[in-house]
Chains A and B, each alone.
Chain A
Amino acid sequence: DAGVIQSPRHEVTEMGQEVTLRCKPISGHDYLFWYRQTMMRGLELLIYFNNNVPIDDSGMPEDRFSAKMPNASFSTLKIQPSEPRDSAVYFCASSSRAGEQYFGPGTRLTVT
């Protein structure tokens, strides 16, 4: 099993640009989570899906952030326009059992 796959691993962009982060969950997992990790705020849950349907997006910081899951094997997190304060590591995780979340390697985003 390849595990959770995220791309790109690193992204450097200028303020105002659109950023798209991608995730492929583990096959058969019906839950998908997007997290953001920073030194100041720790690990924050942004949104999670069940069977491709968004269940809780209360962690999405503002309207600049959007997430989609068009099918069971793919999800995107988009930031438009990006700002320097969005710089963080973004993780995708998938799960088939409560609490047992499998994390991808993360995307390190730097917005200059």
Chain B
Amino acid sequence: GEDVEQSLFLSVREGDSSVINCTYTDSSSTYLYWYKQEPGAGLQLLTYIFSNMDMKQDQRLTVLLNKKDKHLSLRIADTQTGDSAIYFCAEQSPGNNRKLIWGLGTSLAVNP
């Protein structure tokens, strides 16, 4: 079945790197996504990676994909207090549809 799993909480110090991990089950997923939700707001697309890539970098964000282990990670370099939020991993549901399969989200707390 389709399932996306994430750890629920992560706490880091300001200036350190944060690594948020995600595992997924559907090996046929074509795209994998990271969304960010700040308190009281909707989700916002941060970045995505295509399944034929193993790494994507975008400024402070680095996405690593291990297809063999079905493992996705999001690294945030030089984490700031403004990065405190919930981060959701999502995979494209297989087939010709637009559904995303969502993880429960990882709550990132950045301590000064």
Q: How many residues of B contact A (CB 8 A)?
A: 20
Is there contact, CB below 8 Å, between B104 and A42? yes
| A-B pairs with beta carbons under 8 A, tally | 53
Is there contact, CB below 8 Å, between A106 and B45? no
Chain A residues engaging chain B, CB cutoff 8 angstroms: 4, 31, 33, 42-43, 45, 48, 50, 55-56, 91, 93, 95, 98-106
- Name A's interface SS: strand
CB-CB under 8 A from B44, the residues of chain A are: 103
Is there contact, CB below 8 Å, between A48 and B98? yes
Chain B residues engaging chain A, CB cutoff 8 angstroms: 31, 33, 40-45, 48, 88, 90, 92, 97-100, 102-105
Closest chain B CB from A6 CB (angstroms): 8
A98 with B92: in contact, given A42-B104, A43-B102, A48-B98 (CB under 8 Å)?
Answer: yes
Q: How far is the CA of A103 from the CA of B33 in the complex (A)?
A: 14
Closest chain B CB from A59 CB (angstroms): 9
Which of B33, B42, B92 has the most A CB atoms < 10 Å from its CB? B42
